[in-house]
A = this chain, B = another copy of it.
Amino acid sequence: MMIVIMKAHATMREKSAVIAWAEDAGFKVHLSEGDEQTIIGVIGDGRPLNREQAERLPGVERVVPVLKPFKIASREFKPEKTTFMLGEHEVGGKGLIIMAGPCSVESRSQLLETAHAVKEAGAHILRGGAFKPRSSPYSFQGLGEEGLKYLAEAREQTGMPVITEVMEPAMVPLVCEYADILQIGARNMQNYALLHAVGESQHPVLLKRGMSSLIEEWLMSAEYILSHGNGRVMLCERGIRTFETYTRNTFDINAIAVAKHLSHLPVIADPSHATGKWEYVSAAAKASVAAGADGLIIEVHPHPTEALSDGAQSLKPKRFAQLVQEMKRVAQALDRDIES
């Protein structure tokens, strides 16, 4: 359904042309004529309406779409919250899920040390990048399959499922071999070939919001995955790009509650990217819990000053352990929890 608002001085001929256009396309039409302006409601049968065509018709001032452009991702489609298991822990329920680990897998020892530390501190899922999207072709690009192998080894040793980013469709099968959860990075939120591929994979997916994506576009990208029958999708707010540069990104904390209002999917917060500075990760993480996030993904590195990427925003294990305890207290104050 959409509403066509006619210009103040639109002629009868122009109004008739809009009505004819809509009816020719098989839609029903409602006409409301005011003293100053006429509006025409165009009511469809579920098929998408071409808003831009309508905007080009003579005498049309503006076109307002009424129905939300996403379906399967919406609360109207599925009113109750989506929950699913990640290893032994449920996401989307009362308990919050904690994912932690280094930005990049840098070496076997670095990963295993971190994995044991975050498990000890209370994390449920191990994160770590094997393929890294870097704005410079001259920066460290990740260990690739070797990194995936270390992740698999860390899972064996700790029992934690692992999440890692996949950057291109051709790599989806390889990453699925090693990882339990696929991460779509912010830069790839609208890489549709990749969304199709992870949809087909049937692996659980963490979909990061693009750094300048509307909440609605984020849900549309989720819709791409869901439309392949893969219902295990988590949304991840990781900060957006604004004029403020003191922090790496601006954490859109409102988006957590909005996404949960519009959609049934679990929403995860990424306070590490949302701030870009370790000093502020803790405040952002606790705020996420208070705002209703279903989980968090946090960068932890045993020796941040030696990290090959994102050192500035990584917590040391000890600080992370303390943060988990603080988040747990906030969660419990609001009738949720972080299970050990």
Q: Which A residues form the contact surface with B (CB < 8 A)?
A: 1, 3, 5, 8-9, 21, 28, 30, 32-37, 39, 41, 43, 45, 48, 50-53, 55-57, 64, 66-67, 69-70, 76, 133-139, 167-171, 187-188, 190-194, 211-212, 214-217, 220-221, 223-224, 227, 240-247, 250-258, 261, 274-275, 277-280, 283-284, 286-292, 304-314, 326, 329-330, 332-334
Contacts and interface: CB of A to CB of B under 8 A. Distances in A.
B56 A304 contact: yes
B48 A41 contact: no
B136 A48 contact: yes
Given A244-B214, A304-B56, A330-B330, A5 B170 contact: no
B245 A245 contact: yes
B3 A39 contact: yes
A245 to B, nearest CB: 7
A66 B48 contact: no
A284 B251 CA distance: 12
B216 A311 contact: no
Contacts of A312: 51-52, 55-56
Given A192-B167, A243-B212, A37 B66 contact: yes
7 contacts: A1-B36, A30-B32, A30-B39, A53-B306, A135-B221, A261-B279, A283-B292
Nearest to A28: B34
A134 to B, nearest CB: 8
A284 B190 contact: no
Given A193-B168, A245-B245, A305 B57 contact: yes
A138 B48 contact: yes
Given A254-B280, A329-B334, 12 more contacts: A1-B34, A36-B43, A52-B307, A56-B311, A57-B305, A212-B243, A240-B244, A247-B254, A253-B287, A254-B274, A283-B290, A286-B334
A307 to B, nearest CB: 6
Nearest to A41: B32
